[in-house]
Amino acid sequence: MASPAPRIALIHATALAVQPIESAFARHWPQAHRMNLLDDSLSVDRAEAGCLTDPMVQRFIDLALYARSTGCGGILFTCSAFGPAIEAAGVAVGLPTLKPNEAMFDQALAAVGPQSGARMGLIATFEPSIVSMSAELIAMAAQRGRTIELLAEFVPEAMQDLARGQADLHHRKIALAARKLRDCDVVMLAQFSMAQALPAVQAELTCTALSSPDCAVLALRRGMEHD
């Protein structure tokens, strides 16, 4: 008898992340039951505070505890500027809990091979995510005995373009930023909301370009099906 499909909580700090991750689940794990939780004040508060605060961390824990109380067996956060808060939430709930870019970083490091000194590019449309994501990626590389050179590009106003329904302009701005990273060995898109810009970005590069949603869904599925 087949195991029942798991219930997965998708927790967002912006509504722009909902469609990309839902599309990734439709492609890679349509059997999973998804529950979307959105607190779009989190990204606003994070930008205004300039750092991750203890009350913000507690809000992540509270969201994760609520998701567990509804019967969710796993949690995927789609908000990229809150790494330590997501780690704290995962510890609090004791469920498989994935940070948004964890799987993409793993795939990116695999793509550049075992050598140190790889040049890795990161493009972001939410500037506060750059510091936390850079720290996470450098730490992940160090755990594997590697050093990397990380080049980050922030694309001002692109997220606002997407929110206004100007997806083509959003994609074009991100693709222009990718041109500055042509010497990299791999390029990553920081926000889930950037996923649809991937073809335009890849067209500007000879190296591999990666986005978070597909990597995240595949990693969560592998982890939960093997438990």
For Cα atoms 11, 9, 84, give the angle at the middle one, nearest 5 degrees.
Answer: 50
Pair (112, 146) in one structural domain? yes
Asked if residue 1 is part of any domain, the answer here is no
CATH number at residue 191: 3.40.50.1860
Pair (136, 186) in one structural domain? yes
DSSP codes, 19-65: HHHHHHHHHH-TTSEEEEEE-THHHHHHHHHSS--HHHHHHHHHHHH
Asked if residue 154 is part of any domain, the answer here is yes
The predicted structure's pLDDT at residue 224: 85
Pair (114, 174) in one structural domain? yes
Asked if residue 2 is part of any domain, the answer here is no
Asked if residue 155 is part of any domain, the answer here is yes
Pair (23, 106) in one structural domain? no
The predicted structure's pLDDT at residue 1: 42
DSSP codes, 81-140: T-HHHHHHHHHHH-S-EE-TTHHHHHHHHHHH-S-S-EEEEEEESSTTHHHHHHHHHHHH
Question: What order of strands is seen across the sheet that includes strand 186-189?
Answer: 148-154, 118-124, 186-189, 208-210
The predicted structure's pLDDT at residue 3: 60
The predicted structure's pLDDT at residue 116: 85
Pair (47, 142) in one structural domain? no
Place of tokens 């498989």: 96
Place of tokens 């510890």: 91
Residue 81 lies in domain: 7-100+214-226
Pair (205, 139) in one structural domain? yes
Pair (89, 177) in one structural domain? no
Pair (155, 55) in one structural domain? no
Cα of 222 vs its chain's centroid, Å: 17
Pair (117, 194) in one structural domain? yes
Paired residues of 62 in beta bridges: none
**In a structure prediction context, what are the per-residue pLDDT tens digits for the chain, which is 227 residues long?**
456 789 999 999 999 999 999 999 999 999 999 999 999 999 899 989 988 999 999 999 999 999 999 999 999 999 888 989 999 999 999 999 999 999 999 999 999 988 889 999 999 999 989 998 999 999 999 999 999 999 999 999 999 999 999 999 999 999 999 999 999 999 999 999 999 999 999 999 999 999 999 999 999 999 888 76
Asked if residue 113 is part of any domain, the answer here is yes
Asked if residue 38 is part of any domain, the answer here is yes
The predicted structure's pLDDT at residue 227: 62
CA distance 4 to 36: 19
| DSSP code, position 188 | E
Q: Kindly report whether the global pTM for this prediction surpasses the value 0.95.
A: no
Q: Number of folded domains in the chain? A: 2
Asked if residue 172 is part of any domain, the answer here is yes
Asked if residue 15 is part of any domain, the answer here is yes
The predicted structure's pLDDT at residue 26: 96
Pair (55, 109) in one structural domain? no
Pair (64, 150) in one structural domain? no
Pair (110, 59) in one structural domain? no
